[in-house]
A and B are shown apart, each in its own frame.
Chain A
């Protein structure tokens, strides 16, 4: 019985490998997708060869128990990779994820797909841990972590809501730190983990993260505590003195720090020392200029320097500028575009979103070309 089941499982793993090869042949313009497929093919090959040479009955039992779950999990990841193609996924979201992943600096390959009603993430290392007993020594270490981030489908075409990527990357960062440095144990409850990820996301992309949550229509009980905790951080960071944000941040009375959050100071401290930290100083330097550009219907992709021309804007600055105009000045945008009827306003909003997407892309290309010139 065991032998028959094992043979059937091997066949299914071979079919899985064939499916991955078909995916590999597809048109995947991002190196991230190719890397993810390569990593999965290597994992499946290792698993298949382990299956073929199984000698101990314990291993066989283990695999029969876990094998089908692993198969399903990998098929789920294939679906995410296919859905991360540019036909389905706006490049703005991909660029934001790559930008943040690079800043976090832990060799992370992000795969973004829009397919559910909530946001979540899965990591290749979690899958590896599940099948670790079956893998040959040395094949359990990943050179680069692949993180599959799923975002709600209905947010696909709104680049400002893609800030949720920062939350998922923050969770991943804490999970990695937890295993590496034992910090995760300090952030005991799941709720506290979410609050901590919110605060890290805010440190990565500034007030735009708060605006994203405020406009997501979450259940109010969940929202209140999260908003209060983010607001307290924004207060500490000095955003409450920012004129550009007048009337956009929650009232100060609600923005008192939570006692429990002392526990995550260590993680925040770590992030502040990395490139992933988006400071209020950068916000002040870049966002006002970018807001002015948007109000002239120019993509907010670069900032003027006094002496040396222009330089590409930071992606969080672009998104912050986008949120500020969205929340404060859409009537002005509608007026410029003479949009009065709902259809006209919808088209104007689409144009506005396209400017944000374009700006993110231009900023990335500009930066890459400048680096190449140096």
Chain B
């Protein structure tokens, strides 16, 4: 897999060839594109944890979806306002940009070092599969000692794009990636417009792992 250069990213963004077309919208300034990556901005929607409603998160539990709904909530922080991230707090955010990758590209989301030096981690599950369409969910964690103010539309992450070679990945399901990023052909068109709750509990293997499956 080769990393896409600035020139190739620009070519992909403005090509009229639909099979090669890369969409990153809105791309406010070409200065967001540097050698080998594209800067991404923070979106306005977040999923926060209601700490007073903590309960055990057991993905094998049958009513885990209700549990998640009870202890997390979606909030909207409009442009020009801020959200404070406390030390050791995890919130889910998303990129402002809506992204659509062609079938022959995949990507990695990584943090920007200037934010990292403040203690901010932006993604732990970083793989973006070929054909993915939607905003990217970011797992924002403050590992520093001080509160960090997060502003929607601030440049917060980078997307490194790779050309996928060989035929194994294109058009099919890929396993092993973060749920929501690597999808079957149908879902890859069904783009998210904000951060999404974890869907870990939908993995079929939990029935086996928890001993509920009659086949065990």
Given A298-B100, A312-B26, A362-B96, A91 and B78 touching (CB < 8 A)?
yes
> How far is A59 from B193 in the complex, measured between Cα atoms in Å?
56
Q: Is A181 an interface residue (CB 8 A)?
A: no
> How far is A373 from B152 in the complex, measured between Cα atoms in Å?
17
Q: Which of B30, B96, B193 contacts A365 (CB 8 A)?
A: B96
Q: Contact at B76–A358, with CB atoms within 8 Å?
A: no
Q: Contact at B153–A369, with CB atoms within 8 Å?
A: yes
> How far is A82 from B186 in the complex, measured between Cα atoms in Å?
40
Q: Which of B98, B133, B191 contacts A362 (CB 8 A)?
A: B98
Most chain A beta-carbon contacts within 10 A, residue among B23, B26, B30: B26
B 184-198 binary contact with A (CB < 8 Å = 1; else 0):
001001110110000
Given A298-B100, A366-B26, A358 and B193 touching (CB < 8 A)?
yes
Q: Is B77 an interface residue (CB 8 A)?
A: yes
Per DSSP, are chain A's interface residues mostly helix, strand or loop, or mixed? helix
Question: Which residues of B (19-39) have their CB < 8 Å from a CB of A?
Answer: 23, 25-30
> How far is A50 from B32 in the complex, measured between Cα atoms in Å?
57
> How far is A30 from B194 in the complex, measured between Cα atoms in Å?
20
Count chain B residues whose beta carbon lies closer than 8 angstroms to a beta carbon of A.
Answer: 29
Q: Is A310 an interface residue (CB 8 A)?
A: yes
Q: Which of A91, A358, A370 contacts B28 (CB 8 A)?
A: A370
Given A365-B79, A365-B153, A298 and B25 touching (CB < 8 A)?
yes
B 89-101 binary contact with A (CB < 8 Å = 1; else 0):
0000000101010
Q: Contact at A29–B193, with CB atoms within 8 Å?
A: no
Count chain A residues whose beta carbon lies closer than 8 angstroms to a beta carbon of B.
Answer: 31
Q: Which of B23, B77, B153, B194 contacts A298 (CB 8 A)?
A: B23
Q: Is A6 an interface residue (CB 8 A)?
A: no
> How far is A110 from B191 in the complex, measured between Cα atoms in Å?
31
> How far is A296 from B203 in the complex, measured between Cα atoms in Å?
29
Q: Is A254 an interface residue (CB 8 A)?
A: no
Q: Is B142 an interface residue (CB 8 A)?
A: no
Q: Which of A298, A363, A373 contacts B98 (CB 8 A)?
A: A298
Question: Which residues of A (82-120) have their CB < 8 Å from a CB of B?
Answer: 86, 91
A 343-374 binary contact with B (CB < 8 Å = 1; else 0):
00000000100110110011111101110010
Across-interface contacts of B186 in A (CB, < 8 A): 337-338
Q: Contact at A297–B29, with CB atoms within 8 Å?
A: no
Across-interface contacts of B193 in A (CB, < 8 A): 299, 351, 354-355, 357-358
Question: Which residues of B (45-101) have their CB < 8 Å from a CB of A?
Answer: 75-81, 96, 98, 100
Q: Is B44 an interface residue (CB 8 A)?
A: yes
Across-interface contacts of A86 in B (CB, < 8 A): 75-76, 78
Question: Which residues of A (123-142) have their CB < 8 Å from a CB of B?
Answer: none
A 21-63 binary contact with B (CB < 8 Å = 1; else 0):
0000000011000000000000000000000000000000000
Question: Which residues of B (143-193) have their CB < 8 Å from a CB of A?
Answer: 152-153, 186, 189-191, 193
> How far is A309 from B14 in the complex, measured between Cα atoms in Å?
8
Across-interface contacts of A18 in B (CB, < 8 A): none
Q: Contact at B190–A351, with CB atoms within 8 Å?
A: yes
Q: Contact at A368–B100, with CB atoms within 8 Å?
A: no
Q: Is A302 an interface residue (CB 8 A)?
A: yes
Across-interface contacts of B190 in A (CB, < 8 A): 297, 337, 351
Across-interface contacts of B30 in A (CB, < 8 A): 309
> How far is A336 from B78 in the complex, measured between Cα atoms in Å?
31
A 262-297 binary contact with B (CB < 8 Å = 1; else 0):
000000000000000000000000000000000011
Across-interface contacts of A337 in B (CB, < 8 A): 186, 189-190
> How far is A223 from B98 in the complex, measured between Cα atoms in Å?
39
Shortest beta-carbon distance, B75 to chain A, in Å? 8
Q: Which of B14, B27, B98, B100 contacts A358 (CB 8 A)?
A: B98
> How far is A357 from B133 in the complex, measured between Cα atoms in Å?
17
Q: Contact at B25–A302, with CB atoms within 8 Å?
A: yes
Q: Contact at B78–A29, with CB atoms within 8 Å?
A: yes
Q: In the complex, what residue of chain A is closest to B77 when comparing beta carbons?
A: A29
Instruction: Give the interface of A toward B (CB within 8 A).
Output: 29-30, 86, 91, 296-299, 301-302, 309-310, 312, 336-338, 351, 354-355, 357-358, 361-366, 368-370, 373
29 A-B contacts (beta carbon < 8 Å): A29-B76, A29-B78, A30-B78, A296-B100, A298-B100, A299-B25, A302-B25, A309-B27, A310-B25, A310-B26, A312-B26, A337-B189, A337-B190, A351-B191, A355-B193, A358-B98, A358-B193, A358-B194, A361-B44, A362-B25, A362-B26, A363-B26, A365-B153, A366-B26, A366-B28, A368-B79, A368-B80, A369-B29, A373-B28
Q: Which 10 residue pairs are nearest across A and B when measured between Cβ atoms?
A: A358-B193, A366-B26, A354-B193, A86-B76, A369-B28, A29-B81, A365-B79, A29-B78, A299-B98, A338-B186
Knowing that A86-B75, A297-B133, A361-B44 are A-B contacts, what are 17 other residue pairs whose CB atoms are under 8 Å apart, sorted by A's residue number?
A29-B76, A91-B76, A296-B100, A298-B25, A299-B25, A301-B98, A302-B25, A312-B26, A336-B189, A351-B190, A355-B191, A358-B193, A358-B194, A362-B25, A362-B98, A366-B26, A373-B29
